[in-house]
Amino acid sequence: MAEIRRPSSSSTVLDTLGEEIVRIITPVSICMFLVVILVSILNTNDSPTISTIANIAYDETTSDSSWDKFLGALLNSLSFVVVVTFTTFFLVLLFYFRCIRFLKLYMAFSSFVVLGFLGGEISVFLIQHFSTPIDCITFSIVLVNFAVVGVCAVFMSKMAIFVTQGYLVVIGILVAYWFTMLPEWTTWAMLVAMALYDLAAVLLPVGPLRLLVELAISRDEEIPALVYEARPVSNDRLDDVAARRRLWRERRIENSNLITENENPVLGGSGLNAEQSHSNQDANAVVSSNSNRSASNLDSSSSYGPCNLVKAEEGRVQVRETDSDLATPLLGHGNVRVPIGEDAASNENLMLEGIGLASSGAIKLGLGDFIFYSVLVGRAAMYDFMTVYACYLAIIAGLGITLMLLAFYQKALPALPVSIALGVLFYFLTRLLLEVFVVQCSLNLLMF
């Protein structure tokens, strides 16, 4: 297991970006590859479509006109996004009221259903396709053990990181394959709609995902969700995470107090109450008690923080007294600096710094991103493998662009929009233009 390394303050963002991208692209590629294999093996022209919440408003048939399919696909995608939005806000409400145990049990039950029922159904398809001899008792025992161990690996106990990662990829594969059984027009409309939803949910101030992340940071709590972690989190860094979050919360309260002071000039220039003065004295005491240790690492002549470090050890918090303390390094960079004295608008952006991937420095990607990436290439595999190659390269390029934007802008960004936009664009360009060109070249014995 590789040790988590952070570059020195003289390194740049791009020094470790390649390694970070490879660590997240590898499981995404494996998930997409296995979905393409399942689609190629199990899906045929006469394969039945499934009835889910994604096609509850309109049931597409081959006899419908293109316009009817388009309108029906829009209606299905709108219904699906509305259901996902209300469900996400409901989960935010449960998290707000600290129903953490219920959320964990719900996630564990969902994982068990996916591994047990969806996994069992796909296993039956594969057994029938390859005519594999197996009895019902053995199959049931293996399936139940597989599902239970998967739930324990993801939620209930701490296992080896590669076991947890493997089960998360399997969950993504199973769900993505079932989504590929939706009608074609509904699938494409749903992909575009979910990319737009992801953009709004993360970036809008009232977006449910943004509210959920802000609430988790303000409470020093982890969000119970299916999230793939590209590398393990060292136990030695857990105190660092808590310290950063405490500092974020204290600075936010401090900024609100300054705003209140400015809006009430009656208080005068030194109009702080006793509680605020006491908290400021405590903060100054903490900083002064660690000034000797931090002086060797901090250049007093610079108004920037070269590296954002907060270390909690034995009840003491070591901080660097700059506004960049609020930023948690995502990719361990050292040259992205935040100047002192920025306005309220930039302070608002600081609230989400360090949350885009993981506050511990590990890259994290939601399992929904795995699923919809794989749905796109799975749907492309139903047409031609040339479109699969094009869509795969487009998705990987979009994911790389998103990770680079995350590294530079240091704020939470959605992972779906860029990759889905490029994937859909390359699919139709390949299907309508490149395939015709390649076929004509092949028929005329031309090579390029």
Q: Give the DSSP letter string of 7-72.
A: --TT--THHHHHHHHHHHHHHHHHHHHHHHHHHHHH--TTPPPP--GGGSS----TTS-HHHHHHH
- Over 70: is that where the pLDDT of 387 sits? yes
Two tokens, residue 124: 């039956």
**Are the beta carbons of 319 and 335 closer than 8 angstroms?**
no
Of residues 174 and 333, which shows the higher confidence score?
174
- Over 90: is that where the pLDDT of 330 sits? no
- How many angstroms separate the CA atoms of 344 and 339, rounded? 13
- How many angstroms separate the CA atoms of 152 and 136, rounded? 24
Q: Give the chain's mean pLDDT.
A: 75
**Are the beta carbons of 384 and 391 closer than 8 angstroms?**
no
Q: Active site residue: 198, 240, 323, 325, which one?
A: 198
What is the SS3 assignment for 69? helix
- How many angstroms separate the CA atoms of 230 and 165, rounded? 8
- Over 90: is that where the pLDDT of 435 sits? no
SS3 of the chain: helix, strand, coil, percent, to 5: 65, 5, 30
Could you tell me what percent of the chain has a pLDDT over 70? 65
How much is the pLDDT for 374?
A: 96
Per residue in 266-309, pLDDT (tens digit) is: 434 434 344 444 444 444 444 444 444 444 443 433 333 434 43
How much is the pLDDT for 342?
A: 43
Q: Active site residue: 240, 323, 325, 369, which one?
A: 369
Site of tokens 């590629």: 29
Two tokens, residue 150: 């998967």
Question: Is 198 known to be catalytic?
Answer: yes
Averaged pLDDT for residues 33-54: 83
Range with top average pLDDT, 168-177, 285-294, 300-309, 438-447: 168-177
Q: Which has the minimum average pLDDT: 27-41, 150-164, 165-179?
A: 150-164
- Over 70: is that where the pLDDT of 404 sits? yes
Q: Nearest 5°: CA angle at 285, between 279 and 288? A: 140
With bands split at pLDDT 50, 70 and 90, how would you rate the model's confidence at 253?
A: low
How much is the pLDDT for 361?
A: 55
**Are the beta carbons of 385 and 14 closer than 8 angstroms?**
no
Q: Which has the minimum average pLDDT: 17-21, 330-334, 427-431?
A: 330-334
Averaged pLDDT for residues 246-259: 60
How much is the pLDDT for 168?
A: 94
With bands split at pLDDT 50, 70 and 90, how would you rate the model's confidence at 370?
A: very high
- Over 50: is that where the pLDDT of 48 sits? yes
- Over 60: is that where the pLDDT of 366 sits? yes
**Are the beta carbons of 294 and 320 closer than 8 angstroms?**
yes
- Over 90: is that where the pLDDT of 145 sits? yes
Per residue in 94-111, pLDDT (tens digit) is: 999 999 999 999 999 999
